[in-house]
Structure 1
Amino acid sequence: MKLIKTKISGPKLIKTKIFKDSRGFLKETFRKNILNDQDFPFDVMSYSKKNVLRGLHIQTKNAQAKIITVTHGKIFDVAVDLRKKSNTFGKFVGIIISDNDDFSFYIPEGFAHGFLCLSKECTINYKCSKYRDPKHEKTLSWNDQDVCVKWPINKPILSHKDKNLGLSLIEFFNLK
């Protein structure tokens, strides 16, 4: 395993080896020695149907680092830098990940995260560095004009929260 930088500082791809034979494959998805500065006590699994967009979510207190691994299907995964003192504040990195890829996506604390299911259905596993705290979860608007994520579709399927309660980048920046 090794870490590969992305176009903005912080998020990284965790390159893995896939061992395949006629029975299937084996793929390591996490090794503590790759990210020595992080502990990941909490795992979550998410299932979505095609064109479902989840996010862009962030914990404002007890911020979470995440490792995203697609175990079934294909997604467009996005991390938006919301670290207020960062020189890449408001910038995003978006990548396509499928269950056939030889990497997972590491997203450090301070980034909003979201994804769009591109396949008929998808299952995603998250390793999280902190437990989820709904009282401190915020949503950045998936279609914020200042961030300008180039989602592969224009009309995704959204939850009520993701459709109606998303903050703009400016509103997020002005949060106390």
Structure 2
Amino acid sequence: MNIVTTRLPGVLIFEPRVFGDDRGFFVETFRQSWFQEAGLDVQFVQDNQSRSRRGVLRGLHYQSVLPQGKLVRAARGRVFDVAVDVRWGSPNFGQWVGVELDDVHHRQLWIPPGFAHGFCVLSDEAEFVYKCTSYYDPASDTGVRWNDPTIGVTWPLQEADLQLSTKDQSLPLLSEKPVATLPSYEVNT
């Protein structure tokens, strides 16, 4: 396992070893010791999986209470995955990092608690899998708008090619979020 840092402290890319031949491949997708090696004390409590077609954009989501850390990967297909630091008081507040994840390289992105998360599908279809450090809490499920100009995510598809839920289209800008709805920087420092 190769662990790669990103320009946002705490957001990591996990690059597993893939063993492949003409019969297919084998890849180890999770091992607790990887997180220990990275200095992270993480316990996952929930796994999720979604399937989406090309152009679907989901996000940018986070939980205002019980923020979730997420280890995400594309089990099938190819996605552009984004993490945005929305921790109030963080020196990186409002900054983002984006990584392409696919079913060839099997890279995974670790998104610490307190970050908003979103992805858009680049292949015809994709299955997206994520492990979470806290349970989904509908009462604190919130987010920021995918195209917030102050965040400035550079999505790889044209806006006309994107498909968003009504909920995601109506999320507020980061500047419109009351501080009480933002995770604090102390969440994982």
Conserved 8 A contact 1:78-1:93: yes
Q: What runs of 5+ residues in structure 1 fail to find an aligned partner?
A: none
Q: Distance in 2 between the 1:47 and 1:16 partners?
A: 23
Aligned-pair Cα RMSD in Å: 1.1
Q: What runs of 5+ residues in structure 2 fail to find an aligned partner?
A: 182-189
Conserved 8 A contact 1:2-1:34: no
Q: Distance in 1 between the 2:153 and 2:43 partners?
A: 29
Conserved 8 A contact 2:88-2:179: no
Cross-structure match for 1:147 = 151
Cross-structure match for 1:112 = 116
Cross-structure match for 2:172 = 167
Q: Give secondary structure in 1 for the equivalent of 2:33.
A: helix
- CA offset at residue 167 of structure 1? 1.7
TM-score normalised per structure 2: 0.89
Q: Distance in 2 between the 1:137 and 1:89 partners?
A: 19
Provide the aligned length of Structure 1 versus Structure 2.
Answer: 175
Cross-structure match for 1:22 = 22
Of Structure 1 and Structure 2, which has the larger fraction of its residues in helix? Answer: 2
Cross-structure match for 2:184 = none
1:52 lines up with 2:86 in the alignment? no
- Aligned pair in 2 of structure 1 residues 31, 159: CA closer, same or farther (>3 Å)? same
Q: Distance in 1 between the 2:74 and 2:57 partners?
A: 15
Q: Distance in 2 between the 1:167 and 1:35 partners?
A: 33
TM-score normalised per structure 1: 0.95
Conserved 8 A contact 2:14-2:107: yes
2:173 alignment partner AA: S
- CA offset at residue 139 of structure 1? 1.6
List 4+ stretches of structure 1 deviating above 4 A: none
- CA offset at residue 174 of structure 1? 3.0
Q: Give secondary structure in 1 for the equivalent of 2:139.
A: helix
